[in-house]
Amino acid sequence: MAELQTLARPYAEAAFKTGIEQQNLAQWSEQLMVIEVLLADKEVQQRIGDPGIDRQRLTEILLTVCDSILTSATQNLLRLLVVNDRLDIGAELLQQFAAMRTAAEQEIEATVESAYALSEAEQNKISKALERHFGRSIRLDSSINKDLLAGMIIRAGDWVIDGSARARVQQLANRLVH
């Protein structure tokens, strides 16, 4: 894991620097997501692992798949990843770029897991409360986790609020045992 982080860092930094210079960090995020999805695809993984396909042909295959989606700068990044045999860092590259972007934009990524789908109004209310607490803008992602039974878990950075029914039942069980 640490090795992938080390390998991905210069690529993430270069993409981030280019995104800052071009003032299009959001577009770079989207482009890197495309690369991550492409490199994680099972058929693409088979092509990458095929010793009968040289790097030139592999580059052609990858660029053909996403030619109309990727910008020329992102295509160049993909070419570099192929030439330098770094096709295993797609997810880590995206993660590091996202962290740099979040820090630069003074945003905090927060996630909300709830037992049911949250309405837009509920998500906005949670987001505004987190913005007041942290004094920074919040990028909120929500997901449904039926295992929670009821309530929700909110995570922002290293901060966690577990207001799920599952946590309450666990707390009650701990009190009864001790």
Per-residue model confidence as pLDDT tens digits over 14-72: 999 999 888 888 899 999 999 999 889 898 888 888 888 888 898 898 888 887 888 88
- Is 12 in the same domain as 54? yes
SS3 readout for 31-43:
HHHHHHHHHHCHH
The pLDDT assigned to 105 comes to 76
Round to whole Å and give the CA distance between 32 and 51: 26
Distance CA 31, CA 29 (A): 5
If asked whether residues 7 and 66 sit together in one domain, one would say yes
In this structure, are 85 and 29 located in the same domain?
Answer: yes
Based on the fold, state whether residues 97 and 171 are members of the same structural domain: no
Last residue of a domain, one of 74, 102, 130: 102
Number of domains comprising the chain: 2
pLDDT confidence of residue 120: 92
Query: Tell me, what's the pLDDT at 17?
Result: 93
Answer yes or no: do 170 and 132 share one domain.
Answer: yes
Predicted confidence at residue 2, as pLDDT, reads: 63
Whether residue 1 is predicted with pLDDT greater than 60 in this model: the reply is no
Q: Is the pLDDT of residue 103 over 90?
A: no
- In tens, the pLDDT along 77-94 reads 999 999 998 988 888 999
Distance between start and end Cα atoms, the chain: 39
pLDDT per residue as tens digits for the range 10-22: 999 999 999 988 8
Residue range 121-145: mean pLDDT, rounded: 88
Residues 128 and 171 in one domain: yes
Does pLDDT of 146 surpass 60?
yes
Q: Say yes or no: 7 and 49 in one domain.
A: yes
Domain carrying residue 86: 2-102
Domain final residue pick, 42, 71, 102: 102
| Sign of the alpha-carbon torsion through 95, 100, 102, 103 | positive
pTM: 0.62
Residues 121, 172, single domain; the answer is yes
The pLDDT value given to residue 15: 93
* 30 or 158, higher pLDDT: 30
